[in-house]
Structures are given as structure tokens and as C-alpha cells.
Amino acid sequence: MRKVSASKASDQLRPEYDLSQLGGGVRGKYYRRASAGTNIVLIEPDLAKVFPDSAAVNRALRVLADAVIAVDASRRRRGVK
């Protein structure tokens, strides 16, 4: 199927549409609002089977974070870097 160039394409808008009233669009107008608090991370398919939803991933990461904090605190008490 051949593409019709923009110059050859007929205008199919109805006459009652006044394009001058539309004004200019703003690119990325809602980008900050949509991305606020969003952090998308892609995981491998085999991990997706183990962690079926974001709540499962968050629980696992919290357990891991708690373990790292506990090990770090233990090292500080012993004076190990």
C-alpha cells in the first residue's frame, strides 16, 4: 500500500471545525505530573514469576535493605570498614 503525501491528501475535516480556535498544543504539558513519584524498573522474566506484583518486589527489597542496614550497623560497632 502506497502512502499518500500530505500535499495530495484531501482535507476531510468538516467545515464546522474552526482550527484557529484550537491554539497550539504544548509538548510534555503533563510530563512532570505523570512522572512524579514514578520509578519504572524492568525485571527479567524469571524474576517476574517469583515476584508477581509490585508489592512482592517492595517486600523483598525492604528485607534486603534491612539486612544491609543491620550489617552496616554491626560493622560500625566493631570498627570494621
Residue 13's pLDDT is what?
78
CA distances from 72 to 8, 58, 64, 79 (A): 69, 21, 12, 10
| pLDDT recorded at residue 14 | 81
Domain ranges (residues) in the chain:
42-81
Q: Which tens digit of pLDDT belongs to each residue from 1-44? A: 666 665 556 778 788 888 778 777 888 888 888 878 778 888 99
Residue 49's H or E segment, with its range, is helix 45-50
Provide the pLDDT for residue 7: 57
Which pLDDT value is given to residue 81? 66
Cβ contact 51:60 at 8 Å: yes
Closest among 27, 54, 31, 29 to 41, alpha carbons compared: 54
- Read off the pTM: 0.48
